[in-house]
Copies of this chain bind each other. A is one copy, B any other.
């Protein structure tokens, strides 16, 4: 006797990964550890950079308890390649901001770290319903993009400074 299941079993010999699923627009910014580490590091670089002093990785991590050094190295590498910071190699080396903190937007940082999102995306004949959904999400993306674009590293520092003055060093 032949069971239905026997007929179907073969359908799965290769997983049929939904042909037309595109890599959805992935610029819904999440605050991942990676992003947070990067921003903390950049803020840490502000002081030294103003004085032309390079900072070492372990000096950066020393300020904030829980950043894994090796991981931060990788992140800094990406930031350097993206032209946000520059590095000095060899003994007594370290990192410096490549530009003024006012000219570094959060959007630039997160875009860099999240890789090349927004691939040109072949619009595979979306239905009106899909289109409506995408519109809403596109709107959301747009506003977050704007917010991140208008917020600079300097802004971030100003905010943290305001905090610092209001409640003095309750962290190690």
Contacts and interface: CB of A to CB of B under 8 A. Distances in A.
Given A31-B24, A127-B171, A139-B147, A133 B36 contact: yes
Interface residues of A, number: 59
B143 A156 contact: no
Contact of A30 (B26, B43, B132): B26
Contacts of A29: 28, 137, 140
A1 interface: no
Interface in A21-42: 21, 24-26, 28-33, 36, 39-40
A156 B132 contact: yes
Given A33-B21, A66-B19, A137-B31, A164 B40 contact: no
Contacts of A36: 130, 133
A147 B143 contact: yes
A119 interface: no
Contacts of A129: 39-40, 43-44, 64, 156, 160
Contacts of A26: 30
A40 B133 contact: yes
Contacts of A68: 16, 18
Given A25-B31, A125-B171, A135-B159, 9 more contacts: A18-B68, A21-B33, A126-B171, A127-B160, A127-B171, A131-B163, A132-B157, A132-B160, A140-B148
